[in-house]
């Protein structure tokens, strides 16, 4: 695992955007796995700026989702589908046809999970998966004690994660209890994993993930098992390393 310490979130965003641009130059139809939350926004901003400046051509890129809430109505502004379309797909000038994600509105959620896991493989696998990290060490929505071999499936959010994500909703009660997430085993199949963590609030989770034992209690520690994992942290998030 490679750990890169950058001065701040903007520098982390620029570094990762350049890595994605390099991938897209080498493989124009690369499948880019994206994460939601506040942390990756500087990456998307820096990457869109490169596309606008014609420094990179993203027109053939494909985008896929990491996770999704279950039960939010289609088109809800905080469904991860809406977030990824708004923050990534549209700014890159792509259309919905270049985008794939799990169906959080499906009646048969289990079937939707299996279909998404299969669709990722059939698409040739994820070339670069961008990840954030939860304050409890989760990646995607794989909460502590998730199996390190897990596939895409339904999960129940912990109280901590629902509280952390309440800021995106009008009231804490609106945060769904259930989600679909790529499993840790699914995530580990991406060719390159890039985790970005910024701010002091992530320092404990980063220290456990990078320097602690590989353990289901800290899902992000599974990155230690991956042959090509890069952890980009600002100085605050690196403060307990």
Question: Considering CB under 6 A, how many residues would be counted as binding ligand GLP?
Answer: 14
Min dist. Cβ of residue 67 to ligand GLP (A): 5
C-alpha 45/C-alpha 41 separation (Å) is: 6
Min dist. Cβ of residue 59 to ligand GLP (A): 26
Cβ-contact 70, 154 below 8 angstroms = yes
- Contacts (CB under 6 A) with ligand GLP, residues 207-226: none
SS3 track for the chain: CEEEEECCHHHHHHHHHHHHHHHHHHCCCCEEEECCCCCCHHHHHHHHHHHHCCCCCCCCCEEEECEEECCCCCCCCCCHHHHHHHHHHCCCCCCHHHEECCCCCCCCHHHHHHHHHHHHHHCCCCCEEEECCCCCCCECCECCCCCCCCCCEEEECCHHHHHHHHHHCCCHHHCCCEEEECCHHHHCCCCEEEEEECCHHHHHHHHHHHHCCCECCEHHHHHHHCCCEEEEEECCCCCCC
Instruction: Select the span of 16-24, 88-96, 134-142, 148-156 touching ligand GLP (CB under 6 A).
Output: 134-142
- Residue 18 annotated as catalytic: no
- Contacts (CB under 6 A) with ligand GLP, residues 82-121: none
C-alpha 138/C-alpha 103 separation (Å) is: 21
The catalytic position among 127, 143, 164, 234 is 143
Question: In terms of CB distance, is 67 or 234 closer to ligand GLP?
Answer: 67
Q: Strand 178-181 vs strand 67-69: parallel, antiparallel, or unpaired?
A: antiparallel
Q: Is 132 in the site for ligand GLP (CB under 6 A)?
A: yes
Min dist. Cβ of residue 39 to ligand GLP (A): 3
The catalytic position among 136, 192, 208, 234 is 136
C-alpha 110/C-alpha 123 separation (Å) is: 20
Q: Is 134 in the site for ligand GLP (CB under 6 A)?
A: yes
In DSSP terms, 217 is beta-bridged to none
Q: Is 66 in the site for ligand GLP (CB under 6 A)?
A: yes
Instruction: Select the span of 10-18, 34-42, 112-120, 230-238 touching ligand GLP (CB under 6 A).
Output: 34-42
- Residue 114 annotated as catalytic: no
Q: Is 33 in the site for ligand GLP (CB under 6 A)?
A: no
Using CB under 6 A, pick the residue from 37, 125, 144, 185 that binds ligand GLP: 37
Using CB under 6 A, pick the residue from 161, 182, 221, 230 that binds ligand GLP: 161
- Residue 138 annotated as catalytic: yes
Min dist. Cβ of residue 237 to ligand GLP (A): 10
- Residue 235 annotated as catalytic: no
Question: What are the catalytic residues?
Answer: 67, 136, 138, 143
What residues make contact with ligand GLP under the rule CB under 6 A? 35-39, 66-67, 132-134, 140-141, 161, 165
């Amino acid at each position: 695992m490679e750990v890169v310490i950058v001065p701040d979130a903007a520098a982390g965003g620029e570094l990762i955007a350049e890595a994605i641009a390099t991938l897209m130059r080498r493989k124009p139809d690369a499948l880019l796995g994206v994460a939601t939350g506040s942390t990756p926004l500087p990456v998307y901003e820096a990457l869109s700026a490169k596309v606008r400046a014609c420094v990179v051509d993203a027109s053939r890129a494909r985008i896929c989702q990491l996770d999704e809430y279950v039960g939010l109505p289609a088109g809800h502004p905080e469904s991860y589908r809406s977030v990824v379309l708004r923050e990534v797909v549209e700014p890159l000038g792509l259309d919905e046809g270049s985008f794939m994600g799990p169906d959080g509105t499906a009646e048969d959620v289990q079937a939707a999970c299996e279909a998404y896991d299969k669709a990722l493989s059939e698409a040739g696998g994820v070339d670069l998966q961008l990840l954030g990290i939860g304050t409890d060490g989760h990646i995607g929505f794989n909460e502590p004690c998730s199996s390190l071999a897990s596939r895409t499936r339904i999960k129940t959010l912990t109280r901590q994660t629902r509280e952390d994500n309440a800021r995106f909703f009008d009231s804490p009660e609106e945060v769904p209890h259930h989600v679909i997430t790529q499993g840790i085993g699914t995530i580990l199949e991406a060719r390159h994993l890039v985790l970005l963590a910024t701010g002091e609030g992530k320092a404990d989770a980063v220290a456990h993930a990078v320097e602690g034992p590989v353990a289901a209690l800290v899902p992000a520690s599974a990155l230690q098992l991956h042959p090509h994992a890069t952890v980009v942290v600002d100085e605050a998030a690196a403060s307990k390393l």
